[in-house]
Amino acid sequence: MKPVNQKAWFLVLPVLVLVAISAVIPLMMVVNFSVQEKASNGQFFWMGTKWYETVLHDEKFWGALFRSLSFSAIILAIQIPLGIFIALNMPRKGWGVPATLVLMALPLLIPWYVVGMIWQMFGRVDIGLMGVMLKDLGYNYVGDPVDAWGTLILMDVWHWTSLVALLAYAGLVSIPDAYYQAARIDGASKWAVFRYIQLPKLGRVLTIAVLLRFMDSLMIFAEPFRVTGGDPAFLSIELEQKSEELGWASAMSIIFFLIILAISWVFYAVMTREDSDSAKPEAAP
């Protein structure tokens, strides 16, 4: 049992100071700007909730929100099952294990702007491998919104599926052999093994994967910005494009942040509830 010791606050102080500077102060600045307007003489005066109302009535905001949510829904629908499927088929022993892990992790370590650049170079119909090959089918992400969406989705799947697969792999590998042996003795089919042994064990890991991907995909900026230059505009892109309008951008920032916060609260609630459920807590990233 952990002893109570208020002096522990001193150990936490450096973190507190650092994160306070990084988080609290900027956030306060944003809140500040979100309730004020700059007049022509440079002075700020109080606006109350006007900016918030403006944003919430602005179809650009709702458009961006809708686009971001749709994007997230689509990529989740692809990445989660795909990631699980790949994890189920990844090698468990031998030289294949480190080789697979290294190669699959590669996209995760590329700077996001470069990811966008890679896909731009890959998808352009003049210089890109994919672009040229698909040109005759009428593909061109520059003009066609459907093609643009398709390219961005493909890029995100390329970029992040490995994360889901690696997390799922970690979960699968932690299942003791005895479970598979018992299943053999019980005469279970492959589907039954998946449904009753693997899927339940994957539950917690998948929750983390889903929530991480959901939130990160809502916040995406650099990659689509580089590929399509800001059209379709997701939440972050919309925010960046309106950053000159301090009040508007700040109000939208707060709303945006609150959305993310709500999701992460769900995240935390689900995780800690699962912790108290299971008898053996496992460490997970």
Partner 1 sequence: MARIDLDKIRHAYGADPKSEADFALRLVNQAFDDGGAYALLGPSGCGKTSLLNIISGLVTPTHGRVRFNGDDVTGLPTEKRNIAQVFQFPVIYDSMTVRENLAFPLRNRGVRSAEANRRVSEVLDMIGLSGIADRKARGLTADVKQKVSLGRGLVRSDVNAILFDEPLTVIDPLMKWQLRAQLRELHKRFGYTMIYVTHDQTEALTFANQVVVMYEGEIVQIGTPEELFERPSHTFVGYFIGSPGMNVIPTTLDGASMRLGDYSAPLSTVPRLRGKPKLEMGVRPEYVRIGAEGIPAAITRVEDAGRFRIVRAAVQGHAITAIVSEGDEIPADPHIAFDPKGLHLYADSWRVDLGAGDAS
Partner 2 sequence: MKQGRFTWIVPAIYILFLLTPIYWLISMSFKTNTEITGGFTLFPEAFTLDNYAKVFGDPKWRGVFFNSIFYVLMNTVISIAVALPAAYAFSRYKFFGDKHLFFWLLTNRMAPAAVFALPFFQLYYKVGLFDTHIAVALAHCLFNVPLAVWILEGFMSGVPREIDETAYVDGHSFPSFFTRIFMPLIASGIGVAAFFCFMFSWVEYLIADTLTRSAATPITSKMRAVFEQQGGTDWGVLAAAGTLTIIPGAIVIWFVRNYIAKGFALGRV
Q: Cβ 55 to partner 2, closest distance in Å? A: 13
- 182 lies in the site for partner 1, by CB under 8 A: yes
CA-to-CA distance for 68 and 166, rounded, in angstroms? 25
Q: Cβ 185 to partner 1, closest distance in Å? A: 6
- 185 lies in the site for partner 1, by CB under 8 A: yes
- Going from the C-alpha of 214 to that of each of 153, 164, 186, the distances in angstroms are 14, 12, 38
- 270 lies in the site for partner 1, by CB under 8 A: no
Q: What is the largest CA-CA distance in the chain?
A: 82
Asked if residues 234 and 61 have their Cβ atoms less than 8 Å apart, the reply is no
Residues paired with residue 37 on neighbouring β-strands, in sequence order: 45
Stretch that binds partner 1, among 73-81, 152-160, 190-198, 247-255 (CB under 8 A): 190-198
Stretch that binds partner 1, among 58-66, 92-100, 192-200, 229-237 (CB under 8 A): 192-200
Tell me if residue 36 falls in helix, strand or coil. Answer: strand
Q: Which is nearer to partner 1, 146 or 178 (CB)?
A: 178
What DSSP designation does 123 have? H
Size of the site for partner 1 (CB under 8 A): 16
198-237 residues near partner 1, rule: CB under 8 A: 200
- 194 lies in the site for partner 1, by CB under 8 A: no
CA-to-CA distance for 251 and 246, rounded, in angstroms? 9
- 192 lies in the site for partner 1, by CB under 8 A: yes
The string of DSSP letters for 95-128 reads: THHHHHHHHHHGGGGS-HHHHHHHHHHHH-TTT-
- 133 lies in the site for partner 1, by CB under 8 A: no
Q: Which is nearer to partner 2, 9 or 191 (CB)?
A: 9
- Cα–Cα nearest to 210, from 172, 177, 245, 164: 164
Judged by beta carbon distances under 5 to 8 A according to partner kind, the member of partner 1, partner 2, none in contact with residue 89 is partner 2
CA-to-CA distance for 76 and 285, rounded, in angstroms? 19
Tokens 């307007």 map to which residue? Answer: 37
Judged by beta carbon distances under 5 to 8 A according to partner kind, the member of partner 1, partner 2, none in contact with residue 152 is none
For partner 1, the binding residue among 44, 179, 194, 267 (CB under 8 A) is 179
Tell me if residue 136 falls in helix, strand or coil. Answer: coil
CA-to-CA distance for 64 and 8, rounded, in angstroms? 44
Q: Cβ 144 to partner 2, closest distance in Å? A: 20
147-176 residues near partner 1, rule: CB under 8 A: 176
- 281 lies in the site for partner 1, by CB under 8 A: no
- 186 lies in the site for partner 1, by CB under 8 A: yes
For partner 1, the binding residue among 48, 178, 190, 283 (CB under 8 A) is 178
Q: Which residues contact 80 (CB under 8 A, 6 or more apart)?
A: 164, 206, 209, 210, 213
Residue 1, both tokens: 């049992």
Judged by beta carbon distances under 5 to 8 A according to partner kind, the member of partner 1, partner 2, none in contact with residue 182 is partner 1
- 184 lies in the site for partner 1, by CB under 8 A: yes
Report the interface residues with partner 1, using CB under 8 A.
176, 178-179, 181-182, 184-189, 192, 196-197, 200, 277
